[in-house]
Amino acid sequence: MTIPPSAEPAQPEVPNVPSGTAEPLEGMSERQAALALGLGVLVQRAAEVEYILHGLYAHLGGVERPYTDKPHETVTHFITKAKTRLESVSEERVPAQARAALLHDLDLCTAGFDRRNRYIHSCWVHDDEAHGWRTVKGTKGLSHPEVGLVSSDDVWDLASEFARLGDKLVAWDAHFFGTHGVPDLGVPAASSKRL
């Protein structure tokens, strides 16, 4: 018996979505496209904050090159250990008032990443009656799923919060471990995170 030759599978056509727009993809409503775009922006902003947190964590430990200091660890590790390292940094290096404010920002990062994880790892279904998105996510240690009701605005708000936290963390890192910049000349403060 002769086996027929296999046909080359058709190559999928990549949608041509103009950059900077949230045009609905085939089969996606405007509401779904807004949510998908919001989740993408959220992931990008959260990744930027994670990058900055890793540098801050390393700098608090006196490590010159952050990627030699546990680059494989999770953001939770960086936040937890940054708090521990902050306790051992001298008052001259990080004064008490600044220390308290930085700890507050690290707590905001923890809360933000918890929400990010819920949003990114949830299954989303729009509920027209509730005018929002029903989310379902499995959670470690629980015998039942985590269920929530979220709006697209919540996702965009969290993305904005991550952008704000990123700016604050860069300012902390630049102030204590980087370069201060010259605002009058348009030179911003900068972190000194090196590869």
> Is residue 194 pLDDT above 80, yes or no?
no
In terms of DSSP bridges, do strands 123-127 and 132-137 run parallel, antiparallel, or are they unpaired? antiparallel
> Is residue 169 pLDDT above 60, yes or no?
yes
Find all residues with CB under 8 Å of 33, minimum gap 6, and list them. Answer: 22, 23, 24, 25
What are 30-50's pLDDT values in tens digits?
Answer: 888 888 889 999 999 999 999
Give the residue-averaged pLDDT of 91-106: 91
Paired with 147 in beta bridges are 136
CB 81 within 8 A of CB 55: no
Q: Which pLDDT band holds residue 20 (cuts at 50, 70, 90)?
A: very low
How far apart, in whole angstroms, are the C-alpha atoms of residue 58 and residue 73? 12
Give the residue-averaged pLDDT of 107-132: 93
Give the residue-averaged pLDDT of 124-141: 87
Q: Which pLDDT band holds residue 100 (cuts at 50, 70, 90)?
A: very high
**Which pLDDT score is estimated for 25?**
62
Q: Write down the mean pLDDT value for the chain.
A: 82
> Is residue 1 pLDDT above 90, yes or no?
no
DSSP state of 122: S
How far apart, in whole angstroms, are the C-alpha atoms of residue 122 and residue 49? 21
Find all residues with CB under 8 Å of 179, minimum gap 6, and list them. Answer: 189, 190, 192
CB 118 within 8 A of CB 135: yes
SS3 124: strand
Top-confidence residue, 109 or 187 = 109
Give the residue-averaged pLDDT of 155-160: 95
SS3 45: helix
Q: Is 54 exposed, middle or buried (0-12, 13-18, 19+ CB in 10 A)?
A: buried
Please state which of the ranges 2-6, 44-48, 124-128, 145-149 shows the lowest mean pLDDT. 2-6
Give the residue-averaged pLDDT of 7-16: 46
> Any idea which residue has 């990443």 for tokens?
113
* CA of residue 17 relative to chain centroid, distance: 24
> Is residue 7 pLDDT above 50, yes or no?
no
